[in-house]
């Protein structure tokens, strides 16, 4: 059952990206920026621990 739900979600995401590429790229950019911010903050935290 989990596999079927996963495939359905994947198909819907691909369909959304294919029909609305502009908003989908904005979402992907936002996710990427968020991940970059997390790694940046972890780096600052580790640097502050070392000093």
- Tens digit of pLDDT for each residue in 24-39? 889 889 999 999 999 9
Q: Is residue 1 part of a domain?
A: no
Domain contains 14: no
CA 10 from centroid of its chain's CA atoms: 14
When divided into structural domains, the chain yields a total of: 1
Q: Looking at the whole model, is its pTM more than 0.85?
A: no
Residue 15 in any domain: the answer is: no
Confirm whether 16 is domain-assigned. Answer: no
- Is 9 a domain residue? no
Q: How far apart are CA 9 and CA 26, in angstroms?
A: 19
pLDDT of residue 6: 93
Asked if residue 36 lies in contact with residue 44, where contact means CB atoms within 8 angstroms, the answer is no
Q: What is the pLDDT of residue 20?
A: 85
Q: Examine residue 12 and state whether it is found in any structural domain, yes or no.
A: no
**Residue-range definition of the domain harbouring residue 44:** 21-51
Residue 41 lies in a domain: yes
- Confidence (pLDDT) at 24: 82
Listed in sequence order, the residues at least 6 apart from 24 whose beta carbon sits closer than 8 Å to its beta carbon are: 16, 17
The three-class DSSP label of residue 38 is helix
Is 6 domain-assigned?
no
pLDDT at 23: 86
């Amino acid at each position: 059952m989990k596999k079927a739900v996963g495939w359905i979600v994947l198909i819907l995401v691909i369909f959304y990206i294919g029909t609305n590429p502009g908003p989908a790229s904005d979402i992907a950019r936002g996710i990427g920026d968020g991940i970059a911010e997390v790694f940046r903050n972890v780096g600052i935290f580790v640097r502050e621990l070392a000093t």
